[in-house]
Amino acid sequence: MTSAPLRLLHTDIDERVRLIREGHGDWLCGKGCDRCCKRLADVPQLTGAEWALLQEGLAALPPDQLDLIATRITALGPTPARPVTCPLLDPDSGACPVYAQRPVACRTYGFYVDRELGLYCRDIEQQVADGALDQVIWGNHEVIEHALARLGPQRSLTAWFEDWQAQRR
C-alpha cells in the first residue's frame, strides 16, 4: 500500500509528466526504452515507503522471475561496477516488472532536472542540445529530493531486498 505522503508525491510527479507529455507527443520515454535502467550511477536507493510499495510488486511476481532477480542482486555484490544495470529490469523485454510500484527516481528520470547538474538522460539532453525540445517546463529535482528526505532515510535496493529474502526463509 502506498503511504499518504508518497501517494501525494506520485500525484505531483504524474501531473508534471502528464503536462510534459501533453505538449510533446513524441517524448522519448516509453515502454521498451530501457537505457536509463542500464546505466544507473548506483543501485537504486529507496526510502522505506518506496520499498514497502516495491515489495508488493515483487511479491506478486511469479516465483521464477523473483528467483532470477535474486540471482542478479547477489551477482551485483557489495560494490557493483558502474554503470549499474538495475537487477529488476527484464533483460528480454526491456520492461520494468514492477513498473506500477517503481521508485520515485524512476518516475522522475527523464522529466526532472537538477539546477546544478542539469538533465540526467543523455538522449533527452541531446534532443535539448539539438533544439528539438523547446518550451518544456521541467520538474524541479531539488523539490523531489526534499520530499524524499521527509519520507526518511534511504537504503539500497540490494539491502532492502536481502533483508526481505532473509525474513522469508
| Chain residues in the site for ligand SF4 (CB under 6 A) | 28-29, 33, 35-37, 44, 86, 88-89, 96, 102-103, 106, 109-110, 121, 123-124
Q: Within 10 A of 52 (CB to CB), how many other CB atoms are there?
A: 16
Q: Which is nearer to ligand SF4, 91 or 152 (CB)?
A: 91
Least CB distance to ligand SF4 at residue 66 (A): 14
Q: Which is nearer to ligand SF4, 9 or 37 (CB)?
A: 37
3-class DSSP assignment, residue 115: coil
Least CB distance to ligand SF4 at residue 135 (A): 18
Q: Which is nearer to ligand SF4, 9 or 36 (CB)?
A: 36
Q: Which three cell numbers stand for residue 154?
A: 534511504
112: closest CA among 16, 1, 3? 16
Least CB distance to ligand SF4 at residue 86 (A): 3
Q: Which is nearer to ligand SF4, 92 or 169 (CB)?
A: 92
Q: Which three cell numbers stand for residue 161?
A: 531486498
Q: Which amino acid is at 82?
A: R
Interatomic CA distance for residues 80 and 78, integer angstroms: 6
